[in-house]
Each structure stands twice: as C-alpha cells, then as structure tokens.
Amino acid sequence: MDGLYAIEMDGIQSMNHKDSPKVSFLMSIRHCSERLEDCLESLVFQTYANYNIVIVLDNAERQVHKVVKAYAALYSKILVIENPRPRNLATSLNYGLNYCDGDWIARIDADDVSNPDRLKIQVDFALKNGDSFAVIAARAKGIPWKAHKLPHYELSSKDFFRSNPIVHPSVMIRKQILKEYRYTESFKFSQDYKLWTRIIRRYRMAIINQELIEYNVRKREPNYVLSQESYFLLANLTFLLKKFFEAIKWGEKREIVLSLFLNINSSFNLAKNYVRVLLQRF
C-alpha cells in the first residue's frame, strides 16, 4: 500500500462480535491542532469494541507525523497512510476510504473530540432501525440546535434548501453508500454538503438528539470564509435546480424558488465582499 506505515504493534484489540458491525473512523490531517492528542484519545478509548481508525496524512506537518506515529505505535487499531497526491480534504477522504474495512464509516476531524459512547450510541441506533438510514449524524457541543424532545430527527430535502443541518465530523455513514457517491474532489470546501444533497434524494438520513462530539468552532480568515461560502452557494444552487425539476408538490417548488432568490442575493453579497477584501490589500 502506498505510503503505508508498517504497524505491527500490540495494543488495545477490538473484540469482534458476530452481531456488531465494524466501524472505521476516517480522518484527514494536514496541520497540527492543539486538540490533536485530545481527539486521538477520544477515539482509542471508545466504549464500542469493533472499530478501527484510518488516518490520512495530507501533506501533513512534521509535528503531525510525530504525534500520529506515536499513537499508532501504541494502539493497533490505528492505520496511518499518506495521500500520494494531496489536493484537498475531499481527495484525501476518498483515498482513505479505500483502506477502510468497516461496514460503517465514522467521520472525525483532528480538532474535534468524540464522546466515549459515540460509536456505541450510533451503532445501537443503526441496529435498532435496520437498514433504514444511510447517514446517522448527531448533535455537537458548541453548535446551536433547534430544541425538540424527539430522540432523533429525520432529515428531508427541505432541511438542505438554505443551510447544511449536518455537522460533518459527527456522521456515521454506510460504507457502500459512501463508496457509491464519494466526495466531489473539485470542491475544496462544502464537500460534505455537496455529498449530503446527493444522498438525500435517494436515502434516509437522521440526526441523533445527543451531543456526541465536541466541535471546535474556529475563527477563520476572511478569504477562507469567502471561499467556503462560494462553494456552498454553488452546491446549493445545483441542488435546488435539480430538486425543482423533480416530481414534487407545488408548495415545495415555491420554497425552492424562495431559496433560489436567497441564494442569488447571497451570491451578490459574496461578490461585494470579495471586492471589499481585494481593495483592502491596496
């Protein structure tokens, strides 16, 4: 395997239970965050047994190599690979997917921390609901959530008309479906929203009403925020236009038209902000 570290170390071994599906954590790392070790600790000490961790180094910093290799030497659950053609997050996640042998793929980012019962809760939900759901997300500490008393919320296409309701590093997705759709590698940002809007047209998705990760809300540079918004608006526009021409009720079509107007207005504002940032450089 290209770029594969040889890891034959003893560590905490996963107990394979006949009725327990295997889960593969999938993460890509480039920069070394202050929470990297906290993130890795939260993964290796999950209460669910049948899982492993696939870490893709995406042109990673030297300190990332040092930390990750140290953990891989201690825990045999961890498989570390290097993306030979690093480009962006979507590219590295698709590359890492080839090394995941779980029935489900659980996403996590290097600066977010998982609840120790995260996998147990998500797998229990999956088993309880059979093959009903393709994507099982969760609430995240640090991100506001509309209050309701239901144990989970089932998403519909309408939930994606104006925003992304899913916290990417909280999801657990069936591997066969992720392999079918994969991340769109031309999207540097909002590759998750692009993926969800493709999947929701055919499969069921749910958000568990529990905080299963601690999300690191980072302050972004203006250029980063503008780029992120531009990719979201492009993915949103594509989704809305495709959805409009489906055989849906007129009430839903009216909501799509309103969302399209909001998208166009946001695009104009985005263009003005790009010009403003550009002028500030002179």
Domain that holds residue 240: 222-280
Residues of the chain with pLDDT > 90, as a percent, come to 82
Is there a domain that residue 51 lies in? yes
Is there a domain that residue 43 lies in? yes
Q: Are residues 127 and 264 in the same domain?
A: no
Is there a domain that residue 203 lies in? yes
Is there a domain that residue 161 lies in? yes
Residues of the chain predicted below pLDDT 70: 1-18, 147, 282
What pLDDT score was predicted for residue 223? Answer: 84
Q: Give the CATH number of the domain where residue 152 resides.
A: 3.90.550.10
Q: Are residues 189 and 235 in the same domain?
A: no
Q: Are residues 122 and 160 in the same domain?
A: yes
- Domain C-terminal end among 214, 231, 262: 214
Q: Are residues 273 and 180 in the same domain?
A: no
Q: Are residues 181 and 87 in the same domain?
A: yes
- Domain C-terminal end among 214, 231, 257: 214
Is there a domain that residue 14 lies in? no
What pLDDT score was predicted for residue 276? Answer: 84
Closest C-alpha to 160, from 56, 239, 69, 59: 239
Is there a domain that residue 7 lies in? no
What pLDDT score was predicted for residue 218? Answer: 78
Q: Are residues 198 and 61 in the same domain?
A: yes
Q: Are residues 178 and 230 in the same domain?
A: no
Q: Are residues 172 and 238 in the same domain?
A: no
Q: Are residues 165 and 45 in the same domain?
A: yes
SS (H, E, C) the chain: CCCCCCCCCCCCCCCCCCCCCCEEEEEEECCCCCCHHHHHHHHHCCCCCCEEEEEEECCCCHHHHHHHHHHHHHCCCEEEEECCCCCCHHHHHHHHHCCCCCCEEEECCCCCEECCCHHHHHHHHHHHCCCCEEEEEEEEECCCCCCCCCCEEECCHHHHCCCCCCCHHHCEEEHHHHHHHCCCCCCCCCHHHHHHHHHCCCCEEEEEEEEEEECCCCCCCHHHHHHHHHHHHHHHHHHHHHHHCCCCCHHHHHHHHHHHHHHHHHHHHHHHHHHHHHHHCC
Number of structural domains in the chain: 2
What pLDDT score was predicted for residue 282? Answer: 66
Q: Are residues 122 and 181 in the same domain?
A: yes
Q: Are residues 205 and 139 in the same domain?
A: yes
What pLDDT score was predicted for residue 215? Answer: 94
What pLDDT score was predicted for residue 150? Answer: 87
- Domain C-terminal end among 168, 185, 214: 214
What pLDDT score was predicted for residue 267? Answer: 96
